[in-house]
Structure 1
Amino acid sequence: MTAFSLEPAQLAWCAELRALAAERLRPLAGKGEPGRVNRALLAELGALGLLPRLFTSGALELCLMRESLAHACTEAETALALQGLGAHPVHAHGTDAQRAHWLPRVAAGTAVAAFALTEPAAGSDAAALSLTATPATPGRPVRPGGADGWRLSGEKCWISHAPEADFYTVFARTTPGAGARGVTAFLVPADRPGLTGTALDMLSPHPIGALAFDAVPVTADDVLGEVDRGFRVAMDTLNLFRPSVGAFAVGMAQAALDATLGHTARRDAFGGKLKDLQSVAHQVAEMALRTESARLMVYAAATAYDEGAPDVPRRSAMAKLLATETAQYVVDRAVQLHGARALQRGHLLEHLYREVRAPRIYEGASEVQRSIIAKELYKNLEDR
């Protein structure tokens, strides 16, 4: 299989996912409360066997899931993706005990996971984290199974699934002044003393909140990976999920394109159909061209990840950048071609217009992706 064509079985699976999203997930999404975790939707994702795939799928299969779900139900796509983002560090870097306790519940949709990286003064610059992990007993080494550990103090903000998650993958500074080398990843259950959260009223319909850490206790048994090596945990997770953010964007772009094709083929205007106007037809052609280009780059980046290629950071950044910027363009053009009806609350495009903006910011803003691409290009030049 190449990155540029899917096998018939993969195409059939994508069609099945789109049908499941429309028939079984969209009704549950419609019953959810904006800004709140939809636990019924998560439970259905688990019952359908989609959440367990987060821990058995490669990057390409993750992209196919996210694109297919996004085409029919963005709420289901986002619920699945956030479970994966929050729990992947546990799956990839956790201890046997951590995995055994949390992953079956995540897969069933009964435990809600969250990825707590961003801070008020450290968004895309993850190495600038200031949430502090202070040794509970200064001068005494922290050992697995011991009561000694650290106390987390500081804030996280714009955390998806906060403050309703059951556990958080939290990145905190264990060595001051060490930049990316002094960050540790912790698995922090939501019921730890000193941990509180507040919901934020955001444009996106899924829950986003802020977390406050007031000397929250963690021990060596809560560490994900190694002490002072948490930045690697974060980047490993983001390199996997960045192409699939692009897949989410491609699914939204395709939904907007499909809606526009139907509308312009039916709509009477100026003595004919909208599609017969060259200015309209050329816009639709451009929307299709950009959507397919983004899709191919997403598939290529995901395949590179699955094959262990050395240029995964560059490809992942390119895929996320192109796909999210493309989706913004396509949805905006679709709104323009639909006219005022697309801005009416409840219209598909009104929903997509609200959903499409955030992916250009989270998991590394578009500007950060450009910086990553440039850095990787010049690094390759120096290595020659």
Structure 2
Amino acid sequence: MQLSTTKRQRERHLPPNNTKNNATTSNSSAHACSYSSNNNSSVSSITKLYSSRVPLLLLLVLLLACSSHGYNIDLPSYVTHVREPNTMFGFSIALHKGASGYAQSNSLIVGAPKFDTSSYQQGVVEAGAVFKCGMSDGDCNLVKFDSSGNHRNTYGDVIERKSYQWLGATVSTSRDNDLIVACAPRYVFHTMTPNKSLRYDPVGTCFTSRNLTHFNEVSPCRTNNWGYHRQGSCQAGFSAAASTRGDRLYIGAPGSWYWQGQTYSYDVTRPENQVYSTAESSSQDDDSYLGYSMTTGNFNDDRFEDIAIGMPRGAGLLGKVVVNHWNMTNIFNFTGHQIGEYFGYALAACDVDGNGLDDLIIGAPMYSEPGNVEGKYDVGRV
């Protein structure tokens, strides 16, 4: 049931805000650790977003759409990578170009979000992992983006839960640089208040690296804005994208503000610089999932790279894609045409028609053909 505006504002302790698709800014120093919300909301939000995942065939369709010519796969020369069972190895993949730029430095970054990390993370199980795979069979090496166990506060209380956080559920790389991003959208942050009352928040977290030896953590929702009515259930890292030059990181957080969703923009080269983010909207955008998917590209011919963000339950369930500048100011939007088609579930960008501009490819996997009398539903379309 939709909460009334009065009740929502009273619960949030915030004044009414009817601003829609505006951008807000904050300093990176403001993103301090939060002291978070209740346990029930964390369980429901964790399952809420992932229950709507559909088969990865759509991703293959989007990748193939980036080629305007037919081709044959070299079957005698294919490469196979296999890891431990039940780790969900291959849940996410991204091509990585090494710093040298030569073909021999290229590799494949593969996520295994249920990989058991208990051998190198004390007190943590199945935190998930990321692998760097080469161009020969079985040439996959574990990359330890995070080797530490759960951290504690000054009172000695555990303040986070890394077990089952799904590190590797999202991986992304820059096109022309060596930046790698790996995210754990089910990472839980919590703390004990002085009266020992536990609060849990599935805020999510991401890690970046260039040389796969030094790693930086970015967790934009680990703030004092606890609770699902604010940013406590944001699940940052559900989607992520890196700019072509590798100087900017975008993180999707579809669980912020009653699952309206939110997107962050970071300067990777200078983390101390201003952090940009989308603002909270009115209650009509609750459960819209802004940040469910994203991709970068130059979509308006201004020589600057933009960010396209999926909002598959937005616009009254028609689905919506928001295209913003790097500083999260809006350029234009696209809206789906059929209720429930999940328009914006998956996004890709490439120059399909060869005119020198990036084309935006949008997936709607739950689309059904009107007038279909054969009982075929959710056929999907791109």
TM normalised by structure 1 equals 0.25
User: Which is strand-richer, 1 or 2?
Assistant: 2
**Greater relative contact order (Cα 8 A, min sep 6): structure 1 or 2?**
1
TM-score (norm 2): 0.25
